[in-house]
Amino acid sequence: MQKQWRLLPDPPQPFYDEHPELPPVVARLLFHRNITDAKKIDEFLNPDYTQDVHDPFLFRDMRKAVDRIFTAIDAEQKIIVHGDYDADGVCGAVILVSTIKTVGGASVGVFLPHRETDGYGLNKKNVQYLADEKTNLIITCDCGISNKEEIELANSLGMDVIVTDHHSIPHELPPAYAIIHPKIEGEPYPDKGLCGGAVAFKLAQALLSTHKQKGGALPNGQSHESFEKWLLGMVAIASVADMVPLLDESRTLTKYGLVVLNKTNQIGLQKLLLEARLMEEDGSKKREFDTHTIGFQIAPRLNAAGRMNHANVAFNLLMTADPTEAADLAHELNKNNQDRQDLVEKLCKEAEEQADAQKDAPVLIIIGRGWSTGIVGLIAGKIKEKQYRPTIVVAVNESGVTGSGRSIDEFNMIQALQELPPQLFQKLGGHPMACGFTLAGEQEIEPLKQALIEKYQEKTAGLDVSPKLLVDAEIALEDVSWVLYDILQKFEPFGKDNEKPTYFARGVTVQTVKSIGKNGNHITIMGSHRTNKLRKMIGWGFCSDSEEKMNWCKILHQGDRIDVVFEIGVNEWNGNREIQLRIVDLKKRIEHGLNELDE
């Protein structure tokens, strides 16, 4: 779908005057990210683990949670960490299980639900199972805040429950022993944007510091501080995988987590990177790992376990110290991921047919009979990207009716769903841009659709809901330099709410056009701008012959002039490095201002 290009405004002159030490390009990007006061600017540009990571005991219930866990350890009570089946929940479970074991919790285990048969969060069947297994304490990770009835049952069966979560707050909180959640009303913890794995990490921090204060020693003489830092690789994966804003504390945790990830000592992660062809047999890396590595290589493989098999595969991979087991599990995850890609590609064609039949509907509801619940969210995301309409994909199976939704920037989907009649849902949770739910039956799909459309029309009345491509600045290709590239590296790690900066060049003259890639789906353009100097640009998927895309390899010819939006990156091969411009979008240049950006 064609996007409107919008040039973000230049900061007002007083902003430049207040921060004369900042290069104009840096000041502009900070202003666009709403980072405007001196303290926030310093935290963003110079993340410092010792200064910018908050005391975990700022959480209102943290001391209560820590004391209960050490009581369980001292009494040799059985502790179960109840995680989730996605990368955030799995990494959080790894953080908590490994930490509790390290501080003396020999009787700690994990329970990860099966996406198809258990669904998201706690359910009563599994609570009863954990009670039958003589569990004394359940610690949730990346779930639990919406499980009031299940936690009431756990309490009645003699189990305490500590909730660690970050999902949207329900109307009524569960009666948990302690709740570690940054968004609950009255919670003093300053950072509200942590993912589930990061919330689990805060509990791990508190356990480690308390253990140290008590004079406890860790195995193999490792320091508490060292153990804590090694957990940050898991936090980075969780934060990027769950697409939380990479600002404030999440930015600091992810930045340091990437340092850990680049020298990881986890054998399972090493084997997974080897399967992804990001690491050599001798342990050397093909390039530095960054948020793109996590988002497009590591997280999809970890998520594939819960989507196609069971999340235990990913958990066991990240916990094992056995190289042979790690290699087998990594290979299994890689195959799961390939199977997932093939299945999504196949079912997306059917979903697109349903979407095309609803061309006038402001909200799309796609029904997949017999579809795996593990891939409906991925299909919803792909349809949403293509159609730019809120999209819900509902899997109808013998096991139940389960839906997953993806929204657009202008519509808070989980808020809208929480305002619908609660009897529509057996389970409901999520974020502004994504949701998951279970319905009582197929008969609830049409009432849900009509009620959600009404909410959408109410919430978006008067808003421009067309897709937009926000551009940070206009630039001449000749001004793209290593100096500019090095400046932009200060904004790493990139992610949600701190996307890679985009630049716009108008009137670039095409000198050569070439299709590349296995199927010739990608494009390289050599272009000149205000001088005769040539600059290489590469665009992924710009030479596709699919109906919804334009094949620019056939459209463009030498001498054509184009307007192009791009990101600035680096291409590395055989020890060489060159600046590479990645095309985000392009248009043939139309004179008389018809391609001007909206400002």
Question: Taking the CB of residue 546, how many other CB atoms lie within 10 A of it?
Answer: 9
Sheet of 160-164: strand order equals 108-111, 79-82, 137-140, 160-164, 178-180
What pTM does this model have? 0.91
Beta strands, E only, 465-588: 468-471, 473-474, 503-516, 522-528, 534-539, 561-573, 576-588
pLDDT at 592 (0 to 100): 39
CA distance 507 to 589: 6
Which pair of tokens denotes residue 509? 């003259």
CA distance 475 to 488: 14
Peptide bond before residue 493 is cis, with ω within 30 degrees of 0: yes
Read off the DSSP letter of residue 295: I
Alpha carbons within 13 A on the beta-carbon side of 113? 24
Which pair of tokens denotes residue 146? 């919406």
Give me the residues paired with residue 404 across strands: 393, 436
Distance of CA 456 to the CA centre of its chain: 24
pLDDT at 593 (0 to 100): 45
Read off the DSSP letter of residue 262: T
Residue 94's Cβ-count burial label (10 Å; 0-12, 13-18, 19+) is: buried
Q: What is the residue whose two structure tokens read 């291409």?
A: 571
Task: Please provide residue 193's backbone torsions phi and psi, each rounded to the nearest 5 degrees.
Answer: -105, 15
pLDDT at 597 (0 to 100): 57
Helices 299-308 + 312-319 axis angle, to 10: 140
Which pair of tokens denotes residue 234? 């898991």
Read off the DSSP letter of residue 277: T
Residues in the chain, total: 599
Beta strands, E only, 317-476: 364-369, 391-397, 400-406, 425-431, 434-439, 468-471, 473-474
SS3 string, 102-166, reads HCCCCCEEEECCCCCCCCCCCCHHHHHHHHHCCCCEEEECCCCCCCHHHHHHHHHCCCEEEEECC
Sign of the CA dihedral with 289 first, then 293, 298, and 301 last: negative
- Per 3-state DSSP, the chain is made up of helix, strand and coil in percentages (nearest 5) of 40, 20, 35
Give the three-state DSSP class for 4. Answer: strand
Q: Determine the Cα angle at 88 with ends 69 and 93, to 5°.
A: 30
- Farthest-apart Cα atoms in the chain, separation: 79
Listed residue (151, 153, 152) closest to 143, CA to CA: 151
Q: What is the residue whose two structure tokens read 């500590």?
A: 162
599 residues of the chain, pLDDT tens digit each:
688 999 999 999 999 999 999 999 999 999 999 999 999 999 999 999 999 999 999 999 999 999 999 999 999 999 999 999 999 999 999 999 999 999 998 899 999 999 988 988 999 999 999 999 999 999 999 999 999 999 999 999 999 999 999 998 998 999 999 999 999 999 999 999 999 999 999 999 999 999 999 999 999 899 999 999 999 999 999 999 999 999 999 999 999 999 999 999 999 999 999 999 998 888 888 888 999 999 999 999 999 999 999 999 999 999 999 999 999 999 999 999 999 999 999 999 999 999 999 989 999 999 999 999 999 999 999 999 999 999 999 999 988 899 999 999 999 999 999 999 988 999 898 889 999 999 989 999 999 999 999 999 999 999 999 999 999 999 999 999 999 999 999 999 999 999 999 999 999 999 999 999 888 889 999 999 988 899 999 999 899 877 667 899 999 999 999 999 999 999 877 778 889 999 999 999 875 344 455 55
Domains and CATH numbers, the chain: 47-223 (3.90.1640.30), 358-459 (3.10.310.30), 472-588 (2.40.50.460)
Helices 24-32 + 38-45 axis angle, to 10: 100
Beta strands, E only, 497-560: 503-516, 522-528, 534-539
Distance of CA 398 to the CA centre of its chain: 30
